[in-house]
Amino acid sequence: MALWSSGVVSALCLWLVLSGLVLGTVQYHADQGRLYDTFREQLANGDAPLGPTSTGAPVAVLRSPRGGLDDAIVVEGTASGQTQRGPGHRRNTVLPGQQGVSLLFGRGLTYGASFAGITRLRTGDKITATTGQGVFTYRVDGVRRTGDPYPLPLAATGGRLTLATLEGATWLNGFTSHDVVYVDATLQGKGTLPAATHPAVVPKSEDLMMGDSGALLLLLMWVQALLVVSCALGWAHVRWGLWQSWIVGVPVLLLILWSASTAAAQLLPNLL
C-alpha cells in the first residue's frame, strides 16, 4: 500500500513538472498569440488600455532581443494565473511609458519562462514598450539582486521600468529557489501622464513569489470532475469494452488533468 501511494504521489509530481515545463509552454504561446491579436486590434482601433483595466487584459508589448523578449504581451495583474499567460503588470504601479515606476513580473522557469533571459541584459541595452499611448524606449541601468543598491530617484517627469523574475530554480534544488532578480531601465525622454489613478494596494496573491490560494476551489472542482470521468470510464469499460472506452475517455481525462495541473500551478509562486 505504501509503495502504491508513493508511486501515485511520484507520478503526480512528475505530471506537474511536465505540465509546467512542456504543456505550460504550449499553453503560454497559445495565450500569447490570442493576446497579441487582441491587443493589435485595440491599438488599431485606439481603445487599448491607458490605465487600470481588468486583470488578464493585454496592456503592453515588450521587445528586447538580448533579453529574450520578442513582442511579449504584458497582461494586467501579477497573480499566478496572470503570469501563466505572460509578463504581468503590477496594478499599483503606472503602465510602461508613464511617469513613475512601472513594475512587471515574469516567470523564470515554467509557462514559457517569459523573463528567463532578462539577466542577459547589460547596461545600455534597449527595451521598447508599446502601449495605447505610443512606443517608448528604455535604457537598461543594470541587473539588481537582493542586497544591491536601489537605482537613483527619478526626475519629476521621468519613467522607470523594473522587471522582476526568479533565478536559480533547478532540478538540483527541487525548483525551490527564492532568489529574485531585477532589471532596472530608465525611460528615454519624458513619460506620459497616467490616464487614471491606479489602486493603492493589491491583493497579497499579486506580491512577489506568492501563490493564489483562490485557485484551490478551482482545483477541487477539476479533481471532482476527474473522479466523475474516472467512474464513467469504468462503467463504459463494462458496457462498451476496453478499447472503445479508452478511445473516448483518454482525451477527456488528459484535458481534465491539464486543467487541474494549471489550477494547481496557480498555488505556486508567481515567478516560478
pLDDT tens digits, one per residue of 43-92? 999 999 999 999 999 999 999 999 999 999 999 999 999 999 999 999 99
Residue 93, CA distances (Å) to 54, 89, 99, 133, 162 in order: 15, 8, 10, 16, 11
Interatomic CA distance for residues 18 and 33, integer angstroms: 22
Contact 80, 269 (CB under 8 A): yes
pLDDT tens digits, one per residue of 92-145? 999 999 999 999 999 999 999 999 999 999 999 999 999 999 999 999 999 999
17 pLDDT exceeds 90?
A: no
Interatomic CA distance for residues 183 and 246, integer angstroms: 49
C-alpha triplet 188, 107, 189: angle, nearest 5° = 5
Taking residue 81's Cβ as centre, other Cβ atoms within 10 Å add up to 22
Contact 196, 157 (CB under 8 A): no
Interatomic CA distance for residues 256 and 218, integer angstroms: 12
pLDDT tens digits, one per residue of 213-256? 989 999 899 888 888 887 877 777 777 777 677 777 678 888 88
Q: Which residues contact 6 (CB under 8 A, 6 or more apart)?
A: none
* Secondary structure letter of residue 19 according to DSSP: I
Q: What is the largest CA-CA distance in the chain?
A: 74
The domains located in the chain, with CATH, are 2-206 (2.40.260.10), 215-265 (no CATH)
Residue 120 vs residue 169, higher pLDDT:
120
